Amino acid sequence: MTNRQYMRVRSDMPPGHVRTPSYLRGKTGWVERTLGPFPNPEQLAYGLKGQPLPLLRVRFAMAEVWGAETENPDDTLDAEIYSHWLEPAEAPHAP
Amino acid sequence: MTENTQFDGRRWHDMGGSSAGPVPTEQHDFSLWEKRVDALMIIASGKGHFTVDGLRRVLEDMGEEAFETMTYYERWIASVNQNLIEAGVYTTAELAQRMTEVAARGTTYGEAASD
């Protein structure tokens, strides 16, 4: 709990091939582990050389993703998100 | 601007988190041409012409109407073709000539094999 590294998913909505699901954009979670680096698939998709990027497995509380009224607000959801979509954040307010 | 050329906001294929009805789980057989499309994708990516990311990019850019009207492997072969042209493996003109030659063989595998 104390050493959680919180990250907020950028809320950008650019056109083109994007590998960050829109339902997580703008949401804050904590780093479960860091994977990679892997070549950026958003560049590979256009036949370009993919810049190696860390891929972070981010853990979100269901309440953060779906709102406090969700069925099991303390359950969590993991998503693997490339580092360029993440920025350091404060812990979200407890529900 | 149509829904298929959305330039901001959530794109049509980004369906995660949306409400959905029941998920069909029945299995089905694939036809020979569908297996060939799958094999072509594996060969083309193995040779380094493009990656699964390029496959996905073109599928997404084909838009929602294609998703509703074309089958899975119809969309795949359209995307594989687009990626192979972009990679310079063949030109559109070369593809056109080859398609005419293949069409002349007949419309069934049997006719094509009897040549």
Q: How far is B17 from chain A (nearest CA, A)?
A: 6
Residue A94 belongs to some domain of the structure: no
- At B46-102, the pLDDT tens digits run 999 999 999 999 999 999 999 999 999 999 999 999 999 999 999 999 999 999 999
What is the structure's pLDDT at B7? 46
Range with the poorest average pLDDT among A20-24, A36-40, A90-94: A90-94
Q: Is residue B55 part of a domain?
A: yes
Number of domain units in chain B: 1
- Is residue A74 situated within a structural domain? yes
Quick check: is B37 in a domain? yes
Beta carbons of B10 and A41 less than 8 Å apart: no
Is there a domain that residue B64 lies in? yes
Element holding B82 (H helix, E strand): helix B72-86
Backbone angles phi, psi at A52, to 5 degrees: -65, 130
Is residue A20 situated within a structural domain?
Answer: yes
Domain, as residue range, for A61? 6-88
Kindly list the residues from chain B whose CB atom is less than 8 angstroms away from the CB atom of residue A21. 14, 16-17
Number of domains in chain A: 1
Is residue B9 included in any domain, yes or no? no
Q: Which of A13, A23, A47 sits opposite B8 (nearest CB)?
A: A13
Structure tokens at B15: 């369906």
According to the per-residue pLDDT averaged within each range, which of A34-43, B1-10, B12-21, B106-115 is highest? A34-43
Identify the DSSP state of B25. -
| Helices H / strands E in chain A, number of each | 2, 5
pLDDT tens for A52-66 read 999 999 999 999 999
Under 8 Å CB-to-CB from B22, ≥6 apart: which residues? none
Mean pLDDT for chain B?
A: 89
The residue with tokens 């074309």 is B70
Q: Is there a domain that residue B56 lies in?
A: yes
Residue range of the domain that includes B91: 30-113
Domain containing residue B56: CATH number: 1.10.472.20
pLDDT tens-digit series, residues B23-51: 889 988 999 999 999 999 999 999 999 99
Instruction: Judge whether A93 lies within some domain.
Output: no
Cα gap A38→A54, rounded to integer Å = 6
Identify the CATH number of the domain in which residue A78 sits: 2.30.30.50
Q: Is the pTM of this model over 0.90?
A: no
Q: Which long-range contacts (CB under 8 A, 24 or more apart) does A38-45 make?
A: A38/A82, A40/A82, A40/A84, A41/A17, A41/A82, A41/B51, A41/B53, A42/A16, A42/A17, A42/A18, A42/A82, A42/B53, A44/B51, A44/B53, A44/B54, A45/A17, A45/B51, A45/B53, A45/B54, A45/B56, A45/B57
Q: Is residue A95 part of a domain?
A: no
| CB–CB contact A22 B16 (8 Å) | yes
Residue A35 lies in a domain: yes
Confidence band for B10, pLDDT divided at 50, 70 and 90 = confident
A47, closest residue in chain B (CA to CA) = B50
Q: How confident is the model at residue B20 (pLDDT cuts 50, 70, 90)?
A: confident
Contacts 24+ apart (CB under 8 A), B64-73: B64/B3, B64/B4, B64/B12, B64/B13, B65/B4, B67/B12, B67/B13, B72/B34, B73/B30, B73/B33, B73/B34, B73/B37, B73/B38
What is the pLDDT, as a whole number, of residue B4? 39
Q: What is the pLDDT of residue A92?
A: 86
Which amino acid, one-letter code, is at A65?
V
pLDDT at B6 over 70: no
